[in-house]
Chains A and B, each alone.
Chain A
């Protein structure tokens, strides 16, 4: 993305109300065209073929051990947010720690925490899945004040099969596949997977998205796209993001994160 920071703010064109309206109304046509393109892309996405989920996956969570089938919780559609959190592999270079999930995933969670009640009324169950043990997930969830369901895929192959976790061997041999055609940067990566259960109880994997494919799900970024400075990330990516209780002005004890690091 173009460096969209301060440069645009100096000597920005300032016009009369009539000229402002004229430019804005012309741009509205482009926005409407974009919205139509988005509807069309969404329609094509729904036309993608599905694959049958053959394996039995077992998760550990607030309801004890549950299968993928159980996680649908009576609805026909399941959205899984793959949150990067595995205390075992936490290191100085990982975005997750021994007791906290990745900063970016925590940012995404801040945007989906309050909407699940609405998704539930569109026949969608949504939850987060991570490789870390359930106790670690639950402790961190309490710290962040979230209410969404979060289960551990623990030792099951779920995270490996849906290409958000990678074995030490894959990482060493650069043999992992992330986002269909690239290599993972870390042993845990983020993404979204969608499943459908038909009336006969058969489960299908309909869609997965990774990397910037989940960008439109973060409402914060959509608001940033409306303001003069835009995302203002230049080439630095989302390095400004902190866990919501770790920004210097929010934190009880300054832990150092984002661009304060």
Chain B
């Protein structure tokens, strides 16, 4: 979706505020929010793309006025509400009013280290040959899907060059298309596509700038250089 999260190239947010000797967490609740989100991510009730989708589809004013971990918590609450795992009343009070639903997995202390060390690799065997190779000219398609996508607006319609081929990876848009497991983990070829700064930002912009995105094959079409 063309959401507020898709910020590349927006203007007006001011200077980057750099905090010297920044603490890892600024309040006690931030560390708990991070850990709760990571632990619930292991429940198997959603995947990382559904999780991103939940955050980026928060109302734009809420997204912009929420701190980072607040966005995480709002996204998590939304995911759980959608799945009937919790109710609004329960979230407000913290007391259980309805029985829990069965979930695929509960992350235990004993399995935390292994889970973090393994992660969730997205690389998959390729089901087809790659349409593009390094050096090919490609154009980012002008796509505006309602659902989750990882093709940022600022490259859509622009001409770029394939700089790397990463093999086939679970296609984020499709991975977020089904709310409940089993998820659609269809893989597509993934490429690093580099754009000249002047192609993206027009004449007079930084001539020594290049910007790349990682783009799945269906985001791209062949183009004449």
Please determine whether chains A and B interact with each other in the same assembly: no
B residues neighboring A (CB under 8 Å): none
